[in-house]
């Protein structure tokens, strides 16, 4: 009783924002909180891997994860190599840690293309309507008409193998979902009284779009980002298999693909390690994304990923 | 109704042209000079120039103003790369493969059947199983059955499809020897890829359909149906399933181009000579005309499938006819 009383007093004192109520809702989902912890651990590993990479680069030495040891080729898991070694005797654990770095880099860079593009086009279409809307709807219908895996492959292929190809491929294709959602929100918000008030007070279209409406659709960007993150990681594996993936760095997709032939020789640790490393991150992100959506906007309909 | 259908038919034209423009932009503009790509790493400038001439890459991309001014014919403006492709594709001429020099239209005709052999069973069985399981989850909502399925589907979605294929092929074809590892000769060769295809796509679909059905479960009409004394089963099959049909239909249509492209990875792993493997091979060998045609035809099929769904909507939901 006293607990609820204290709670309601605290609530009365603090103004309830979307974020505070959402955070309370989110915290109630214990599984999601645990998964958020897992994501935080991965984030820590990402920062560590990034520092390993840059320090090795600054000192101009071969980083530890690339050191080959032909005496210990395809060694099974042991005290020295927890996840065994690969065909060149490189430590799999160190490579998996670098895989975290690459997965994060891909997802963050792709989002850096996807979010501005989807947000801007969606906002313009929803806010201005008329021919702007017609044109942008035509544009995203066209992009959406190309089966996503085919357009991602095409862009990655012409841009060239490697990080750039993957990031451009996924970023230039995946913005459509976000654009649709943002457009819908802007259509809704531009009818609201606060927009009319801001306009009446002399705010420009630009100010209304970005200062007044944008904060009200921010949660959609966060949800889309969290739910898209695991899909980028899964797509990277497919792109690696299709020959348009990362070159020269140990991404999870590269490791899974390298493990392909050696699985038949009984070398299971490479595949197992990469699958497990990926599984926990993707699972945690999926659960966190769902919980975020439930907490922030339960009515939001988010679409599935590319089919292969 | 007729007006709606005609209006909808016309809307296909700008989308199809847009798709062609997009694919053209990808292959001829975004990626830089296609001749340089085709010539490979150690090409001489002469070789690149020759390729440029051979494929018409030396022409302007969209409008040939120079040619029109020189000859005085206004139609010569369209003597450019993009309109060349529009003309060709309108006549269903997709050019020839760089690797085998076969007609691409011929290659596609040959590849369709093996692809459909793999993808149609996956498509149909997966749809029925996913909808049935989603109904089961909705029936036992918030019970341990429902939760178990949700957990399994999220776990299933978090593993790369490539891992399913690799492990499936390794265990059931190589270790246990129940199925052939590679090839396409009889029904026996299709079983394992189909089973793997169903398993790895089931998780996502089940979760999606379950969400749709649960959304419907909390609608007013469901409460009314329960209030008038309808049983769980009646409500699920008579009311919820019918109303969930539209979002389900939408999701199904998105998967239709997948029938055509085949499963890229399944086909190349199990050696099935379909369109999926053709596409993968084309990426490996840099066979751009094949890729161009595959991407374009895949999109056109999607556009047509979308058109058919929209027409189906008017049948499934009478309210749409009024718009």
The answer to whether residue A276 neighbours chain B at the CB level (below 8 Å) is no
Residue position matching structure tokens 């357009």: A151
pLDDT at B74 over 60: yes
Closest residue in chain B to residue A144, using alpha carbons only: B299
Any chain A CB within 8 A of the CB of B283? yes
Question: What's the average model confidence in pLDDT over B217-239?
Answer: 85
Instruction: Identify the residue whose tokens are 């980028």.
Output: A232
Closest CA to B130 of B212, B50, B73: B212
Find, among B151, B316, B295, B194, the residue nearest to B244 by Cα: B316
pLDDT at position A4 is 56
CB of A211 closer than 8 Å to CB of A273 = no
List CB contacts (< 8 A) between A287 and chain B: 154
Query: Taking Cα atoms as reference points, which of B227, B292, B286 lies closest to residue B20?
Result: B292
- Which member of A159, A259, A304 has the closest CB to residue B208? A304
Instruction: Please tell me the distance from the alpha carbon of residue B120 to that of residue B262, in angstroms, as a whole number.
Output: 9
Residues A284, B153: Cα–Cα separation, whole Å? 14
Give Cα B176 to chain centroid, integer Å: 33
Q: Three-state SS for A117?
A: helix
Q: Please say whether the beta carbons of B255 and A228 come within 8 A.
A: no
ipTM value for the complex: 0.85
Closest in B15, B162, B208 to A237, CB measured: B162
Q: Helices A92-128 and A163-189 meet at what angle, rounded to 10?
A: 30
For residues B161 and A16, give the distance between their C-alpha atoms in angstroms, rounded to a whole number: 43
From the CA of A207, how many Å to the nearest CA of chain B? 33
Q: What is the pLDDT along chain A (308 residues), one digit of tens a residue?
A: 445 555 555 555 566 777 888 888 888 888 889 999 999 999 999 999 999 999 998 888 888 888 888 887 878 888 778 888 888 878 888 899 999 999 999 999 999 999 999 999 999 998 988 899 999 999 999 998 888 888 898 999 888 888 999 999 999 999 998 999 999 889 888 888 898 899 889 888 888 888 888 888 888 899 889 989 999 999 999 898 888 888 888 889 888 888 887 888 888 888 999 999 999 999 999 999 888 888 887 666 654 444 44
- Judge whether B156 is closer than 8 Å to chain A, CB to CB: no
- CA A128, CA B173: separation in Å to the nearest integer? 58
Cβ of residue B115 closer than 8 Å to a chain A Cβ? no
Which pLDDT band holds residue B322 (cuts at 50, 70, 90)?
Answer: low
pLDDT tens for each residue of B205-224: 898 888 888 888 888 888 88
Does the beta carbon of A149 lie under 8 angstroms from any beta carbon of chain B?
yes
Between chain A and chain B, how many beta carbons pairs sit less than 8 Å apart?
136
Q: Is B96 helix (H, G, I), strand (E, B) or coil?
A: strand
Confirm or reject contact between B151 and chain A (CB < 8 A): no
Indicate yes or no: CB of A237 within 8 angstroms of CB of B26: no
The residue whose two tokens read 């993957």 is: A166
Alpha carbons A174 and A227: distance in angstroms, whole number? 12
A158·B280 Cβ contact <8 A: no
What residues of B are in contact with residue A155 (Cβ under 8 Å)? 26, 30-31
Signed CA dihedral, A250, A255, A261, A262: sign only: positive
Q: Would you state the structure tokens that stand for residue B190, as one six-digit string?
A: 């299709």
CA of A136: how far to CAs of A8, A118, A161, in Å? 46, 11, 30
Which two three-digit tokens encode residue B210? 């379950």
Decide: helix, strand or coil at residue A91.
strand
Q: CA B178 to CA B162: how far, in whole Å?
A: 20
* Cβ within 8 Å of residue B271, ≥6 positions away: B182, B183, B184, B277
Q: Pick from B22, B263, B283: which is nearest to A244 by CB?
A: B283
- If you search the block for the tokens 């369109």, which residue do you land on? B275
- Give pLDDT, residue A47: 95
The answer to whether A231 and A297 have CB atoms below 8 angstroms apart is no
B-chain residues within 8 Å CB-CB of A305?
A: 204
| Helices and strands in chain A, H and E counts | 12, 0
- pLDDT average, residue stretch B191-209: 89
**CA A109 – CA A180 distance, rounded (Å):** 21
Distance separating alpha carbons of residues A258 and B132, to the nearest angstrom: 38
Angle at A275 between CA A272 and CA A281, to 5 degrees: 140
Q: Please check whether residue B14 is in contact with residue B6, taking contact to mean a CB–CB distance below 8 angstroms.
A: no
Residues in Cβ contact with A112 at an 8 Å cutoff, skipping those fewer than 6 apart: A171
- Our CA-based measurement puts residue A5 at a distance from the nearest CA of chain B, in whole angstroms, of 30
Closest Cα in chain B to A294: B211
Q: What's the pLDDT at A1?
A: 44
The answer to whether the CB of A84 falls within 8 A of the CB of A270 is: yes
Which of the pair, A189 or B80, is modelled with greater confidence?
A189
Q: Which residue has the tokens 């993009």?
A: B82
Residues of A in contact with B37 (CB under 8 A): 158
How far is the C-alpha of B89 from the C-alpha of B108, rounded, in Å?
14
Q: How far apart are the first and last CA of chain B?
A: 9
Q: How far apart are the first and last CA of chain A?
A: 54
pLDDT at B30 (0 to 100): 80
CB contact under 8 A, B174 and A287: no
User: pLDDT at position A305, please?
Assistant: 43
Rounded to the nearest angstrom, the minimum Cα separation between B250 and chain A is 11
> CB count, 10 Å around CB of A191?
9
Substitution target in B16, B162, B277, B280 with the highest count of A β-carbons within 10 Å is B162
| Chain A closest-CA separation from residue B174 CA (Å) | 8
Choose the closest CB to A150 out of B254, B284, B298: B298
Backbone φ and ψ for B102, nearest 5 degrees, come out as -80, 155
CB proximity A203 to B under 8 Å: no
Place of tokens 């003309």: B87
- Confirm if A173 and A117 have CB atoms less than 8 A apart: no
Helix B241-254 / helix B288-316 crossing angle, nearest 10 deg = 170
**Contact A234/B255, CB-based, under 8 Å?**
no
């Amino acid at each position: 009783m006293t607990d609820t009383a204290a709670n309601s007093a605290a609530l009365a004192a603090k103004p309830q924002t979307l974020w505070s109520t959402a955070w309370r809702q989110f915290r109630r989902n214990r599984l999601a909180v645990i998964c958020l912890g897992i994501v935080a651990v991965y984030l820590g590993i990402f920062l560590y891997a990034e520092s390993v990479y840059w320090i090795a680069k600054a000192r101009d030495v071969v980083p530890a994860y690339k050191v080959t040891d032909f005496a210990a080729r395809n060694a099974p898991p042991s005290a020295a190599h927890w996840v065994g070694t690969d065909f060149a005797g490189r430590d799999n654990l160190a490579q998996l840690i670098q895989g975290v770095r690459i997965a994060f880099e891909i997802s963050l860079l792709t989002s850096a293309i996807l979010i501005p593009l989807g947000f801007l086009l969606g906002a313009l279409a929803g806010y201005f309507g008329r021919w702007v809307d017609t044109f942008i709807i035509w544009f995203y219908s066209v992009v959406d008409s190309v089966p996503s895996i085919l357009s991602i492959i095409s862009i990655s292929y012409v841009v060239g193998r490697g990080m750039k190809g993957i990031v451009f491929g996924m970023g230039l294709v995946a913005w459509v979902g976000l654009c649709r959602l943002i457009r819908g929100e802007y259509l809704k918000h531009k009818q609201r009284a606060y927009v009319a008030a801001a306009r009446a007070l002399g705010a420009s279209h630009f100010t209304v779009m970005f200062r007044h409406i944008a904060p009200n659709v921010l949660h959609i960007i966060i949800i889309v980002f969290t739910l898209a993150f695991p899909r980028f990681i899964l797509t990277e594996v497919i792109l690696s298999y299709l020959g348009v993936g990362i070159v020269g760095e140990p991404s999870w997709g590269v490791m899974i693909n390298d493990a392909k032939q050696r699985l038949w020789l009984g070398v299971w640790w490479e595949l197992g390690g990469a699958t497990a490393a990926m599984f926990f991150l993707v699972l945690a992100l999926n659960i966190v994304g769902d919980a975020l959506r439930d907490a922030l906007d339960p009515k939001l309909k988010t679409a599935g990923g590319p089919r292969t | 109704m007729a007006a709606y259908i005609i209006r909808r038919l016309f809307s296909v034209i700008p989308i199809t042209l847009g798709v062609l423009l997009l694919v053209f932009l990808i292959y001829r503009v975004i990626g830089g000079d296609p001749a340089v790509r085709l010539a490979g790493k150690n090409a001489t400038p002469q070789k690149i120039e020759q390729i440029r001439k051979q494929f018409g890459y030396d022409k302007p991309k969209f409008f040939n103003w120079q040619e029109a001014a020189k000859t005085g014919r206004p139609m010569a403006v369209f003597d450019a790369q993009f309109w060349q492709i529009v003309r060709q594709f309108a006549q269903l001429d997709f050019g020839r493969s760089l690797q085998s020099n076969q007609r691409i239209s011929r290659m596609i005709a040959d590849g369709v059947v093996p692809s459909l052999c793999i993808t149609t069973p996956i498509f149909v069985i997966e749809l029925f199983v996913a909808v049935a399981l989603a109904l089961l989850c909705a029936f036992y909502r918030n019970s341990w059955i429902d939760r178990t399925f949700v957990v399994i589907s999220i776990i299933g979605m978090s593993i790369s499809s490539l891992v399913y294929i690799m492990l499936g092929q390794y265990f059931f074809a190589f270790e246990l020897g129940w199925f052939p590892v590679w090839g396409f000769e009889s029904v026996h060769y299709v079983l394992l890829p189909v089973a793997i295809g169903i398993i790895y796509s089931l998780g996502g679909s089940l979760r999606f359909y379950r969400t749709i059905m649960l959304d419907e479960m909390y609608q007013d009409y469901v409460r009314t149906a329960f209030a008038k004394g309808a049983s769980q089963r009646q409500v699920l099959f008579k009311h919820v399933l019918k109303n969930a049909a539209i979002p389900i239909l939408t999701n199904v249509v998105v998967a239709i181009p997948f029938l055509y492209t085949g499963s890229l990875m399944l086909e190349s792993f199990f050696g099935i000579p379909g369109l999926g493997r053709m596409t993968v091979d084309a990426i490996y060998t840099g066979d751009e005309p094949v890729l161009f045609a595959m991407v374009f035809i895949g999109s056109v099929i999607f556009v047509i499938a979308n058109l058919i769904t929209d027409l189906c909507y008017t049948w499934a939901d009478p309210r749409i006819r009024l718009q």
